[in-house]
Amino acid sequence: MSLLRSGRVAAVLALVCVAAACSTSSKEQSVQSSSTPSAAALDKFYKQTPKWGSCAGFGSADERMPKAAECTHISVPIDYGNPGGATAQIAVSRIKATGQRIGSLMFNPGGPGESGLWMVQQGQDTQLAQRFDRIGFDPRGTGNSTPLIKCLSGKEWDEQRAEAPKENDTAGIAAQETEDKKFAAHCTERTGDDFLAHVGTREVVQDMDIIRGVLGDPKLTYVGYSYGTRLGYSYAEKFPDKVRAMVLDGAVDPEQQPQQESIEQAAGFQKAFDMYVQSCVKKSDCPLGTDPAQATAQFRKLVEPLWDHPAPTKESRQLTYGDAITGVQNTLYASDNWDLLTAGLTQLRNGLGDILLRLADLYDGRSRDGSYDNSQDAFLAIHCVDDPAIKDRAVAAQEDAQYRKVAPFLDDGHATNQAPLEICAFWPVPNTEQPHKLSIPGLPKTVVISTTNDPATPYQAGVDLAQQLGADLITNRGTRHTVFLSGGVPCVDDAVTSYLIDLKEPAAGLTCG
């Protein structure tokens, strides 16, 4: 079973973003540590002068960059072990402070693999917009940064999504692993191993420090969501003396084994599904009926026929089983999307798949013209470079069985006590990090936000991260993935804004929602 990245729901009838972590000794933090270059070797990168200009040509049409935003590219070494070699260009966006400026405030939306330029509009009409230059950026290999991670074309992604699911028998497993090997080969051919080996968290945090330096900030002020929390705590590990303030919302646990994180995430989505059911069954038109005890079975009756018979849509494409599950999961990232899930399931009950297909498209980064952003390619590449792959077939089979057990609404009914190895088992370059417990002496006070019913990054991961960082923990009672500046919880927004501006710590044990 694969991990999910940060969910995306945008306008479809007004439609509306984790990386794996695991645990060993902190001494085993890096499998392939990139040598740290001297300050002199990086001096030219820190001293470059960015040329800010229009954001036209930056970002997608869907991102709707504000008129006040400026964009630029900042040059960084592809390989920090060879700073005199080839370079990458990191796309950066900025909206200047409108009042008494403190410095820059950098945002990252998570993923991994998500473009972050649009994050420049976070905190609009708040004190943050007055006191900080708000900064977004596309991490190396993603969005408008170059070079790009590229594996499949839009046509190839469409073809892959249209394929019938494979059984977990000997032939199906062999076919899936052959497909995964081809995917990895395409990534090598179209991106190049020299760049693929340097697209992980290890390099991105060094890029973040160059951005900080180029912006003229002596220390970093940062807000990271979901996988962006990993970028945050990894930056703090490497540059603890360069942290001014850091907010980590929707935490990834740095100690957790990848297979355990996958299982806990599946359990989180089951919990979110169950909470949706409790809301849905109170309505006479709920497509899952009125008995919550039968809702999972009713859901399975709706989606299982898609395994062999995809549902038609108004497009030339059909809704496959895989796309239906992706579309459903995309709505479970926040309770705000539950009405849309009801609409999609109701439409499916009536034999059509347009809404769920569009939801899957949004998650996969597909535009209506058939083109894709590179977020799916980048997610897989970064995940495989960051974390050790599961290469033990017994472990893969055990994970598959546990996944089905904790998330019955995701159990396709085709269990065989076997499972294919994940794609990272066939990746052309080695992983660069190992999971570990954090220990960062002297780190200034940071803030972790964790939501009780977060489906993608479970609440306990935030508790554990806060303990390791010695951070203040804010608990948000709710059902959503990340919360700060979402527009719905002033208690969280007020406390975090005060921390970012004045470095005032939130009240001990603060609980909101």
Mean pLDDT across 7-36: 37
* Marked catalytic residue, from 361, 411, 454, 472: 454
- Per the annotation, the verdict on 454 as an active-site residue is yes
Cα dihedral 390/396/399/404 (nearest 10): 140
Is residue 420 exposed (0-12), middle (13-18) or buried (19+ Cβ within 10 Å)? buried
Contacts of 508 (CB under 8 A, 6+ apart): 472
* Marked catalytic residue, from 253, 400, 481, 486: 481
Backbone angles phi, psi at 461, to 5 degrees: -60, -40
Contact 379, 424 (CB under 8 A): no
Q: Reply yes or no on whether the pLDDT at 2 is more than 50.
A: no
| Structure confidence at residue 432 as a pLDDT band (50, 70, 90) | very high
* Marked catalytic residue, from 93, 145, 226, 486: 226
Residue pLDDT, tens place only, 238-288 = 999 999 999 999 999 999 888 888 899 999 999 999 999 999 999 999 999
Q: Which domain holds residue 251?
A: 30-148+196-257+437-512
Contacts of 22 (CB under 8 A, 6+ apart): 255, 256, 257, 258, 259, 260, 261, 387, 388, 434, 435
Q: Residue 477 belongs to a domain with what CATH number?
A: 3.40.50.1820
Sheet bearing 103-108, strands edge to edge: 70-77, 87-95, 132-137, 103-108, 220-225, 243-249, 447-451, 472-476, 511-512
Residue 162 lies in a domain: no
Closest CA to 398 of 257, 199, 512: 257
Mean pLDDT across 200-222: 98
Closest CA to 58 of 105, 90, 22: 90
- Per the annotation, the verdict on 217 as an active-site residue is no
| Structure confidence at residue 62 as a pLDDT band (50, 70, 90) | low
Mean pLDDT across 26-32: 32
Residue 306 lies in a domain: no
Residue pLDDT, tens place only, 80-101 = 999 999 999 999 999 999 999 9
How many whole angstroms separate alpha carbon 336 and alpha carbon 356? 16
Domain count, the chain: 1
Mean pLDDT across 355-372: 96
Residue 267 lies in a domain: no
Other CB atoms within 10 A of residue 15 CB: 18
Residue pLDDT, tens place only, 410-424 = 999 999 999 999 999
Residue 473 lies in a domain: yes
Residue 61 lies in a domain: yes
pTM for the whole structure: 0.92
Contact 230, 252 (CB under 8 A): yes
Residue 120 lies in a domain: yes
Residue 305 lies in a domain: no
- Per the annotation, the verdict on 226 as an active-site residue is yes
Residue 72 lies in a domain: yes
Among left, alpha and beta (phi > 0; psi -120 to 50; other), residue 451 is beta
